[in-house]
Structure 1
Amino acid sequence: MMEKSGVSTNNLVVEVNYGKGKKLPQYIAALSVCMGSVAAGTVLGWTGNITEGELQAGELNDVFINKDTDYGWIGSFMTLGAMLMCFPIGFICDLIGRKLAMLLTIIPFSVGWLLIIFANNTDMIFAGRFITGLAGGSFCVSAPLYTSEIAQKEIRGALGSYFQLLLTVGILFAYLLGAFIDAQIVSVICAIVPLVFGVVFFLQPETPVYSLKKGNEEAARKSLRRLRGDNYNIDAEIADIKASLEEQKSQKISFRESFKKKATKKSLLICFSLMFFQQFGGINAVIFYVGTIFTETGADIEPSIATIIVGVMQVVFTFIASLVIDKFGRKILLIISDFVMGISGILLGIYFTLKDRELITEDELKDITFLPILSLCIFIAVFSLGFGPIPWMISAELLPPEIKSNASSAAGTFNWLLAFLVTKFYRDLTVAIETDTTFYIFSVISLLGTVFIYFVVPETKGKSLEQIQRELNGEREVGEGLDNKGFSS
C-alpha cells in the first residue's frame, strides 16, 4: 500500500508517494521511550499498597509517619514536583534534544529514590517524593512529544497511547511489589527501573523533527531510515518536515495575536477542560489511596489483592485503547469513558452512603461488598480506555503550532496542580463531607464532562494538523466524513 502526503500551499495540493515504510521500528522506539513512563508509574503507584498502617508502624527505615499531617503530603509532594517540571522540560527538550533530556531524568529519579531508601526522617521522604515527581512529570511532556515526532500519521494515535499504557504498567508493578515486600525493598527495586530505561532507550534515535530544527539534515535522514526502513521515500518526508518548520517560522506570531484566532481559543478551552475533567473525576484519589479505599469498604477481599486487581484492569484496558484508538477515534472513547466513570462513582458513593450512614444492617452490607470492588474496577477500566491517554494526546493535536510548546506545558502544569489538590485534600474532604459525598462530587463532574465532550470536542482521528485547525476555526470541508457532532462516519 502506497502512502501519500498532501502538502498544501495556497490551495495547491501536491500528492507525494512515501513508499512502503516499516512500522515495527516506530513501535519499538515508542515502547523504549515509554520505559521512562514505567519509572514514572512506580512513583505514582508507590503509595498504593504501602498503607498508612505500614508507614505509621515505621516499616520504611524506622521513620514513623503521622497519619493526620504526613500521609497526604507523601502522596501529593510527587504531584508538586511533576507540576513544576512541565514548563522547564519543554525548553530543555528544545535546547538539548528530546532524547538527551529524557536520559538526564535518570539523575533526579535516582537521587529521589535514594533519599527515600535512606530516609531517617519524614523530610527526606518528602524530598524524595518531590524529586522523583520532577523526573516523572517530565515524561508527561517529553514522551508524547518524542512519539508524535517519530510516528507516521496512521499509527500516531496508537503510539501516543503508549505513554499512558506503560505508566499503568509502572503503577501495577509498584502495586505488586507493595503487596508482598516491605516499603524499603520496594523503593530499591523502583530505583532500578529508571536505569533499565536508560539502557533500553539509549540506542534509539533522536527525532527527525528536532534534528532538522537544528539544521542537521544528515541526522534526520539517519533517524528516518532507522524508523521507516530502506523502502521508504525519506526525501519526501524530509521535504514535508522542512516545509512545516518553514511555515511555522513564517507564521510565528505572538500569543496575543494567536489568541485572536477562534482555533486558539477553542483549542485552549478544550485542552484545559479535558485536564480538569480528567483529574476532578477522581482518578488520582483512586490511584494513590486505592488500598485505603478498599480498607474503608470493609470488603472481605484483602486490600492489597484488590489493589492489584485494579492495577491489572488499568493495564489491560489501556492496552485495548492503544489498539482501538485509531479505529474508533478519540471522541467516542472520551464520551464512553467519562460517562461510565460518572456512573461508577455514583455506585461507589451509594455503597459508602449505606455503610457510613448505617442505612442497612451489617449482614445486608456483606451481601453487597462486591459493589465497591466492581465499581472501582469499572472506573479504572473506562478511565484507561479513554480519559487516561486521550487528553494528553489530543492536546498535541489541537493546539496551533505557534503556541503548542508553551500551551502544552501550561496544560500539563494545570493537570498536575489539579492532581495535587485531589491527592492532598481527598482525605480532608472525606472527613469533612464523608466519603460518599466526595465520590458524588467526582461523579457529577464526570457527567458534566461527558456533555462538554459531546458538544465541544471535535474528532481528530486521521486528520492532518492543518485540517484540525481549519475545523476549529469553523471552516467545514465537504467530504470530511463527519456528522454535525464531529463523529467519524
Structure 2
Amino acid sequence: MSFVQKAAITRKGWTGTMEVEELDPEKNALSPTPRLVSKKHDGSACRLIFAATCAFLGPFSFGYSIGYSSPALPELEKLGILTRSQSGWFGSLLTVGALIGGPFGGLLMEKFGRRTAMKFTSIPFFFGWLCIAFWSGTQGLFFGRFLCGFASGLVTVSVPVYIAETSTTSLRGTLGAGIQLSITIGILASYSAGMYFQWSDMAIIGMIPACLAFVTLYFVPETPRWLLLNGKKLEAVASLRQLRYEHADCEDECRDIEEGLDLKEQFTWSEFKKPELSRPLMISVFIMIFQQFSGINAIMFYTVTIFKNAGLGISELATVLVGAVQVGGTFVSCLLMDRMGRRRLLIIAGLSMSLSLLVMGWCYHKLDTGSSPADVGMISVICVVVYILGFSLGWGPIPMLIMSEIFPSRARGAASSIAVFTNWFCAFVVTKEFLFVQDVFGAATTFWMFAFFCACSVMFVWRKVPETKGKSLEDIELFFLGKSTLIV
C-alpha cells in the first residue's frame, strides 16, 4: 500500500512543497524511489474557455475574409467595379498578404508576447474592411484585401500558439480544434451574409469581430510560458491564476513549466540544424504541404458546378450548405480530438478524402466520355460532402494544432512562422495554378492527382507523426530530444 506525503523542494529559484508518492517498503523494498503524483483538478474550465473564446475572434475574422469573395465577387463584377482578371487578383491578394503576415507574426509574438500579437491582428482586419467598404475604386479593394490577408497570416501563427500554451493537457486538443471551428463559422457567416447584404455592407459587418477582439483581449492574460521565458515569474503565476480555477495549484504548475524550459540558452536560427528542432519542423512543414495539396481549393471551386449538375438549385444555397457541413465536421473533430488522438483522425480523414477524390475523378471522366451530368450528379454531391467532412474532421484543424504543440517554447514563434509561410505559399501556388493544371490535364486527372497526395499524407502520418494526445508540451519536447518514449 502506497502513501502520499509532503516533501520540501528547492529548484531553479523556487521554494515550497510538493506531493510525492512513496512505495511501501514492506512490499517493494528494492524500489523506494519517489515519483510525482499527477494532480487532476476537477474544477471548472470556464476561465480557460473564456480566454480561448476571445482568441477565437481572430480565426472567425480570418474565416469571414475567406468566405467574403464568394458572394461579393459576382456582385462586384456585375456592377462593373472589378473585371474578371481583377477578381482573380482580389481573391489571391489574401494569400499574398498572409505570406508576409505569418513571418511578421512570429517575430512580433517572440518580441512582445502572444497576446500582444493577437491584439495587433485586429488593427489590419479593421482597416482592411474599412478600405473595402468606403475607399472607392479598385485600389481600396485591393489594399483592404491585402490587409485582411496580412492579419490572417498573423492569426494563423499567434492564436494556435496562445491556445497551446494556455490550455491544460486534457483540453488542448479540443480548444486547438476550436480554431478551425471558428474559421468555418466565419466562412459560414460570410456565405449567409451574402444572401442578404450587399458587398459593402458585408465589409462593415467584418469590422465588428475585429473590434470585439481588440477589446476582449484586454481581459485575458499573456501565456505563462512566454512570461517565464522572459524572467517574469510572478506574472506567470498570476497568469495561471487567471486561466485556472480558484483553488488550482498554480505555483506547482509554474514550476513544472519552468523545469521544461531552457532559460539559459537563447534561440538562434542555426539551431534548426539540431534534430530536436529539424524533426518537428520537417513534420509541421510537410503536414502544411499535404493540407494544401489535398485539393480543398479545387473542391471549393467546383462546389457550385457540382450542385448545379445534380439539379440542387441556387449557387448561394450550395455554398451555405458546404459551409454548414464544414462547421458540423469540425465540431465533431473538437469532440473527438482528445479521445481518438491526432494521428488516428488524420489517417481516417486522409483515407476518406482520397477515396472521395478518386470517385470524383471517375465522375468527371464519365462526363468527358459523354455521360450526362444527371447520371453522376448525386454521386458527385455525396463525394463533396464526404470529402469536406473528412477535411473538417482531420486535415482542417489538426495541422495548426500539431504545429503549436511540437516546437519547444524558445523556438515556437520562429518555427511556426516557417510552417505558416509554407502553408500560405502552397495555398497561393495551388490557387494560382489550379486552372492551368485543369486545362492541361483535365478535371478527372486533377482530382486523381489530389487523391494521390491524400494517400501520401496518410503514409507520412503513419510513419513520421507522433501522437501528442494527453501529453504536456514539456513531454513532447523531451520526446524530440530523445529523452522520453512516452509518445508512440
Q: TM-score range by the shorter chain?
A: 0.7 to 0.9
Aligned amino acid, residue 144 of structure 1: P
The alignment status of 1:269 with 2:243, answered yes or no, reads no
Residue 17 (structure 1) shift: 4.5
Structure 2 CA distance for partners of 1:451 and 1:350, relative to 1, 3 Å? same
Deviation string, structure 1 residues 178-220 (Cα, Å, up to 9, x no partner): 2333322222212222123333333222222233334443433
TM-score by length of 1: 0.86
Q: Which runs of 5+ in 2 are unaligned?
A: 5-17, 21-32
Q: 1:373 is matched with which residue?
A: 381
User: 2: distance between equivalents of 1:82 and 1:437?
Assistant: 30
8 Å contact 1:75–1:424 — kept in the other structure?
no
Q: 2:29 is matched with which residue?
A: none
Instruction: State the SS of the aligned residue for 2:290.
Output: helix
Q: 2:162 is matched with which residue?
A: 146
Aligned amino acid, residue 397 of structure 1: E
User: 1: distance between equivalents of 2:230 and 2:413?
Assistant: 16
Q: 2:270 is matched with which residue?
A: 256
Aligned amino acid, residue 310 of structure 1: V
Match of 1:238 among 243, 248, 254: 254
Aligned amino acid, residue 429 of structure 2: L
Q: 2:403 is matched with which residue?
A: 395
Residue 104 (structure 1) shift: 2.3
Q: 2:456 is matched with which residue?
A: 448
Instruction: State the SS of the aligned residue for 1:169.
Output: helix
The alignment status of 1:23 with 2:45, answered yes or no, reads yes
Structure 2 CA distance for partners of 1:440 and 1:17, relative to 1, 3 Å? closer
Residue 255 (structure 1) shift: 4.2
8 Å contact 2:109–2:413 — kept in the other structure?
no
User: 2: distance between equivalents of 1:125 and 1:384?
Assistant: 30
Residue 469 (structure 1) shift: 4.3
Structure 2 CA distance for partners of 1:215 and 1:468, relative to 1, 3 Å? closer
8 Å contact 1:299–1:366 — kept in the other structure?
yes
Q: 1:118 is matched with which residue?
A: 134
Residue 292 (structure 1) shift: 4.7
Instruction: State the SS of the aligned residue for 1:154.
Output: coil
8 Å contact 2:291–2:396 — kept in the other structure?
yes
Q: 2:81 is matched with which residue?
A: 63
Instruction: State the SS of the aligned residue for 1:48.
Output: helix
Q: 1:439 is matched with which residue?
A: 447
Q: 1:310 is matched with which residue?
A: 322
User: 1: distance between equivalents of 2:45 and 2:208?
Assistant: 30
8 Å contact 1:300–1:369 — kept in the other structure?
no
8 Å contact 1:275–1:415 — kept in the other structure?
yes
Match of 1:193 among 209, 212, 221: 209
Residue 71 (structure 1) shift: 2.6
Residue 344 (structure 1) shift: 1.5
User: Which moved further from structure 2: 295-304 or 419-428?
Assistant: 295-304
Residue 415 (structure 1) shift: 0.3
Residue 351 (structure 1) shift: 2.2
Aligned amino acid, residue 242 of structure 2: R
User: 1: distance between equivalents of 2:302 and 2:64?
Assistant: 15
Residue 412 (structure 1) shift: 0.5
User: 2: distance between equivalents of 1:208 and 1:335?
Assistant: 33
Instruction: State the SS of the aligned residue for 2:72.
Output: coil
Aligned amino acid, residue 77 of structure 2: Q
User: 1: distance between equivalents of 2:107 and 2:35?
Assistant: 34
Aligned amino acid, residue 177 of structure 2: S
RMSD: 2.7
Give the 5 Å matches for 1:20-419: 20-51=42-73, 53-58=74-79, 62-66=80-84, 69-245=85-261, 248-252=262-266, 254-261=268-275, 263-287=276-300, 289=301, 292-294=304-306, 297=309, 299-355=311-367, 357-360=368-371, 362=372, 365-419=373-427
Q: Give the number of equivalent residue pairs.
A: 460
Aligned amino acid, residue 230 of structure 1: E
Q: Which runs of 5+ in 1 are unaligned?
A: none
8 Å contact 1:175–1:311 — kept in the other structure?
yes
8 Å contact 2:164–2:405 — kept in the other structure?
no
Residue 19 (structure 1) shift: 5.0
8 Å contact 1:313–1:377 — kept in the other structure?
yes
Instruction: State the SS of the aligned residue for 1:47.
Output: helix
Structure 2 CA distance for partners of 1:431 and 1:183, relative to 1, 3 Å? farther
Structure 2 CA distance for partners of 1:415 and 1:136, relative to 1, 3 Å? same
User: 2: distance between equivalents of 1:5 and 1:128?
Assistant: 55
The alignment status of 1:459 with 2:480, answered yes or no, reads no
8 Å contact 1:63–1:119 — kept in the other structure?
no
User: 2: distance between equivalents of 1:270 and 1:348?
Assistant: 29
TM-score by length of 2: 0.87
Structure 2 CA distance for partners of 1:324 and 1:18, relative to 1, 3 Å? closer
Structure 2 CA distance for partners of 1:90 and 1:253, relative to 1, 3 Å? closer
Residue 443 (structure 1) shift: 1.3
Instruction: State the SS of the aligned residue for 2:71.
Output: coil
8 Å contact 2:358–2:448 — kept in the other structure?
yes
The share of aligned pairs that are identical, in percent, is 32
